[in-house]
Amino acid sequence: MSIYVDEKTRVVVHGLTGGQARFHGLRNRDYGTNVVAGVNPAKGGQDVEGIPVFATASEAREATGANASFVAVPAKVAPGSVLEAAAAGIDLIVCITEGIPAQDEARVYSELRHKYPSVRLIGPNCPGVISPGKCNIGITAGEIARAGGPVGIVSRSGTLTYQALYELKQMGIGVTTCVGIGGDPVPGTTFVDCLAAFEADPSTRAVMLIGEIGGTEEEKAAAFIADRVTKPVVAYIAGVTAPPGRRMGHAGAIISGNKGTARAKMEALGEAGVKVALNPTEAGELMAQLVRAL
């Protein structure tokens, strides 16, 4: 099994006629993802290499039965695209767009929770979600991921998401689903959301969590793991040497006082029974040890 996406997922790509969305949308299709439509208000009725383009998400869903949306449009129109997909009845929205103002992210998050509580948003500013061999929505290179489980991955960092997938593939370890939740201040999906989904998925027998400095989401994840997760977890937290008060990478990666430091997150996870690695390669090695013991 997998979480969030599988071979039955039908994807509509917002902005498919544009450069970035076209590149990644077609790459997702070539991977085997069921990309059924594109959306562009100005180019409805056209097609991109056989994929029909509709003027609205509602038209696309009605015509194709799309149940997932891939938003790859500029920051100024991304919030509207996310809300349009939700209003159309699309249950899963993956938004890779970076540079969306935090206040817009907060507004969209609030509207989704109040008006469309069944909709799951992954992102923004994330690599997306991949269930290897089944479905890939986003910018992850499918060839670096091995299918078949038993590991689930959830990560705030895009680059480290790719490294985790490749490290495991090099050791012959497959992945059920890998979710890049993004590192912006207001993510649509959190560590806890993914941990709960992996805990409920019988095919996921171990979880790798990749965090970074800033915020308290990793500490919340540690508390959830201690109370609710029965499966073994390996974690790596980036940013051990980051100086307090300086933003490192993502907009959400900022330390304030004693809060949000890598050390504090590592300690919380360790106290919850998580095996905490000091670098990405060690995280892969620790996971390999766990998998051999399963």
- Is there a contact between 92 and 67 (Cβ–Cβ < 8 Å)? yes
Among residues 236, 228, 238, the alpha carbon closest in space to that of 275 is found at 236
Task: Name the region of 118 (left: φ>0; alpha: ψ -120 to 50; beta: rest).
Answer: alpha
Task: Mark out the alpha helices in the chain (DSSP H runs).
Answer: 19-31, 57-64, 78-87, 102-115, 158-170, 191-200, 217-228, 262-271, 280-293
The H-or-E segment that residue 121 falls in is strand 120-122
3-state helix, strand, coil in the chain (%, to 5): 35, 25, 40
Q: Active-site residue 14, yes or no?
A: no
Report the distance separating Cα 194 and Cα 208, nearest Å: 11
Q: Which of 14, 24, 114, 250 is catalytic?
A: 250
Active site residues: 250
